[in-house]
Amino acid sequence: MSATEILELSATAATAAVASGALSQGELFGAYLARAEGDRAAGGEGLNCFTWVAEHVPGDGSAPLHGLPIAVKDLFCTEGIPSQAGSRILEDYRPPYTATVVSALQSAGVSLLAKTNQDEFAMGSSNENSAFGAVRNPWDRGRVPGGSSGGSAAAVAAGLAPWALGTDTGGSIRQPAALCGIVGLKPTYGAVSRYGMIAFASSLDQAGPLTRDVADAALMLRHMVGQDECDATSLAFPGEIEPPTAERLDGIRIGVAEELASEGIQAGVVEAFEGALTRAEELGAQLQPVSLPHAPHALSAYYVLAPAECSSNLARFDGVRYGSRAADARDLLEMYTRTRHDGFGAEVKRRIMLGTYALSAGYYEAFYGRAQRVRTKISEDFATAFASVDFIVTPTSPTVAFKLGERTGDPLSMYMSDYCTVPMSLAGIPAISIPCGLSEGLPVGLQITGPAFSENRLLDVAHALERALEFDSQRARV
Ligand code: GLN
């Protein structure tokens, strides 16, 4: 097979090609390694997707995924390999162990191709908060790929990796998937282990696939789910993740979330979204409006809860337990202060300050306690809606990919990028983004969400729609 033919294969097709003997594991890995090295070598001219690339082609294995290369977000611990969470404070940190989901995928046969660039500690929506530089969107290099799993999304969209692993706290898989024209899935909270993921907000963080198509997302998730004794919040997945097969949506009731589908959403995004709704109807789905009355408050609650959890999680980076220690401090306090001053970027510091304030004795009830109550209301809204519909759809991102630098000076406008994705994170329910069309020549994402542990049915619905929408992702290949 020629390199071009290899690069056209989805992860599922590449595995099948290796299994049939049409392609060797070495050829497959080698083709992607050359691409990934090319992006690294291009420096400022490239996409800046990767923070580490494999040094050689690994030997053959016999597990079901046949040595398929995978790109993994920087914040997953990988034994002996830099795992820096996009932060200066963890520069060249090489963990002594590997995150459970990564080792589960490795046991299933994948080989680590690269670590991907990301917003520092997964805080961001544009991948401009990385200590290792911004990532560019392969559809238009003057634009952001979305964040925080921007390196993973851009690498898959550009064909520099067959698939990639990301994490999603408030939208960081779905939003970059939407902005880069690929598929991104955030699983039900607890379906996958968080052990070995460098934590941002533990009650929200989940790992998930970024892939070229829905079948690949199912294939990756199949090898990720499961209870892990190292993560007390993980749960056994009921059954297995199956390859999606649905081609029709007959009898499926799809709710259109009124609060998340019009106000503040770019006209071109609404147009592509409505086009997807028409396709869904043609496939036999019944559409009906649903209300999520508290969803407009999700972002406010999230920006209290996530910083509160981050201020606690990031306390460990003190130059003693973790983090590169500032040199030449005169005493302990100066060492802590300088380590954290030099090691963390501006957005991380902003969140630590916000979170520490929200958790302080006098304000705890007014901020943290109230945000938790809003979170409960949001979960209840979804539960009520799912009594009358099977799934709910929204646009994934209110806008298409924006220009580099456009929102860096205005944190609130950056936070708005996750307006449609944060409610599902607070409710702990699964949600997938699939590309549904173009606006201004840039991809638009459709988000589909369902009740906890509905992944198999969700993947089926996404698969049927993906077939009908026939989105052409070739244009982003570099
Ligand atoms: N953009 C959101 C934030 O900055 C979500 C990030 C994420 O999901 N990791 O917090």
pLDDT digits (tens, 9 = 90+) for 20-38: 999 999 999 999 999 999 9
Task: Show Cβ contacts of residue 196 under 8 Å, excluding neighbours closer than 6 positions.
Answer: 76, 77, 95, 97, 98, 99, 100, 101, 102, 230
Query: Region 13-20: what's the mean pLDDT?
Result: 96
Q: What is the DSSP letter of 143?
A: B
Distance 301 CA to ligand 1 centre (A): 13
3-state secondary structure of 113: strand
Q: How far apart are CA 381 and CA 34, in angstroms?
A: 48
Q: Just list the catalytic residues.
A: 73, 148, 172
User: Which of 127, 149, 418 has most ligand 1 atoms within 8 Å of its beta carbon, as the pocket-test mutant?
Assistant: 418
Say if residue 475's pLDDT is above 80.
no
Percent pLDDT > 90 in the chain is 96
Quickly state the pLDDT bin for 53 (edges 50, 70, 90): very high
CB 178 within 8 Å of CB 212: no
User: What three-state secondary structure class fits 436?
Assistant: strand
pLDDT at 132: 97
Residue 48 pLDDT: 98
pLDDT at 470: 95
Average of pLDDT values for 371-379?
Answer: 98
The reported pLDDT for the residue numbered 236 is 97
Q: How far is the CA of 270 from the centre of ligand 1 (A)?
A: 23
pLDDT at 423: 98
Q: Which of 168, 172, 396, 416 to mutate to test the pocket of ligand 1 (most atoms within 8 A of CB)?
A: 172
Out of 359-363, 454-458, 459-463, which region has the weakest mean confidence (pLDDT)? 359-363
What span, in angstroms and rounded, lies between the C-alpha atoms of 113 and 374? 41
DSSP 90: G
Give the distance (Å) from ligand 1 centre to CA of residue 396. Answer: 14
Ligand 1 atom with minimal separation from the 125 CA: 1
Which numbered atom of ligand 1 lies nearest the CA of 168? 8
Pocket of ligand 1 (CB under 6 A): 122-125, 148, 168-172, 200, 306, 418
Give the mean pLDDT of 60-78.
Answer: 96
Residue 20 buriedness (CB in 10 A; 0-12 / 13-18 / 19+): exposed
Confidence (pLDDT) at 429: 98
Residue 171 C-alpha to ligand 1 middle, in angstroms? 6
pLDDT tens digits for range 149-208: 999 999 999 999 999 999 999 999 999 999 999 999 999 999 999 999 999 999 999 999
Q: What per-residue confidence (pLDDT) applies to 262?
A: 84
Closest residue by Cα to residue 118 from 163, 211, 52: 52
Residue 382 CA to its chain's centroid (Å): 22
Distance CA 60, CA 140 (A): 37
Helices (H), 143-200: 150-157, 174-180
Mean pLDDT across 369-373: 97
Residue ranges and CATH numbers for the domains of the chain are 3-248+455-476 (3.90.1300.10), 296-371 (no CATH)
| CA gap 236, 222 in Å, rounded | 12
Atom of ligand 1 lying closest to residue 171 CA: 8
Task: Summarize pLDDT for 316-334 with one digit per residue, the tens.
Answer: 999 999 999 999 999 999 9
Contact 413, 386 (CB under 8 A): no
Euclidean distance between CA atoms 383 and 216, whole angstroms = 29
Given this model, what pLDDT does residue 198 score? 98
C-alpha 302 – ligand 1 centre gap (Å): 9
Return the ligand 1 atom nearest residue 169 CA.
8
Interval 227-240: pLDDT, tens: 999 999 999 999 99
pLDDT tens-digit series, residues 392-447: 999 999 999 999 999 999 999 999 999 999 999 999 999 999 999 999 999 999 99
Q: Are 158 and 478 in contact (CB under 8 A)?
A: yes
Q: What is the pLDDT of residue 291?
A: 97
Asked if pLDDT for residue 357 goes beyond 90, the answer is yes
Which residue CA neighbors atom 5 of ligand 1 most closely? Answer: 170
Question: Can you tell me the distance from the alpha carbon of 426 to that of 186, in angstroms, rounded to the nearest whole number?
Answer: 12
- Over residues 94-110, the pLDDT tens digits come to 999 999 999 999 999 99
User: Which DSSP letter does residue 295 get?
Assistant: G
Contact between 52 and 286 under an 8 Å Cβ cutoff? The reply is no
Please give the pLDDT value at position 474: 77
* Distance from C-alpha of 453 to C-alpha of 327, rounded to nearest angstrom: 48
What is the pLDDT, as a whole number, of residue 472?
87
pTM check: above 0.95: yes
What average pLDDT does the structure give for the chain? 97
